[in-house]
Amino acid sequence: MGGRAILIALISAAPFSAIAATLPISGTYGNERGCRLARIGDYSEDDSARILTSEALQTMVTYCSFDVVTPTPAGGHKLALTCASEGSGPEDNIQDSAEISGDATSGYVVSFADGTVWEALKRCE
């Protein structure tokens, strides 16, 4: 078997979970503080920043990547997440879940499994 065939076989055998899922949105959405953080990287003392992209949810100290994105009948999406906190190693990552509802015009609302709900996140300019 040639080198190219071996490489193709290895790629084909790789687990699909290694590829992060994406939410079918474009751009960055956030609250006022989140958009400021996304725009200029302002990490001041205000920890109310909320950011949503096609690949992740983010606050000042937490980054949650999407493992699985599943459309819901109501037009939203259920998310399986892996979340990491600032200053923690990969062994401290936690699994979580959330649901996204809304749209680009009215904003996207994030509802977490523990009952936490983020306000409507609007497109960052």
Domains of the chain by residue range: 17-123
3-class SS at 115?
Answer: coil
User: Tens of pLDDT along 47-69?
Assistant: 899 999 999 999 988 999 999 99
DSSP assignment letter at 49? -
Quickly tell me which residue has 């956030």 as its tokens. 30
Place 23 in a pLDDT band, splitting at 50, 70 and 90.
very high
pLDDT confidence of residue 78: 97
Count Cβ neighbours within 10 Å for each residue of 2-31 and write b for 16 or more, e otherwise: eeeeeeeeeeeeeeeeeeebebebeebbbb
Strand partners, 101: 109
| Six-digit token string for 121 | 């996140």
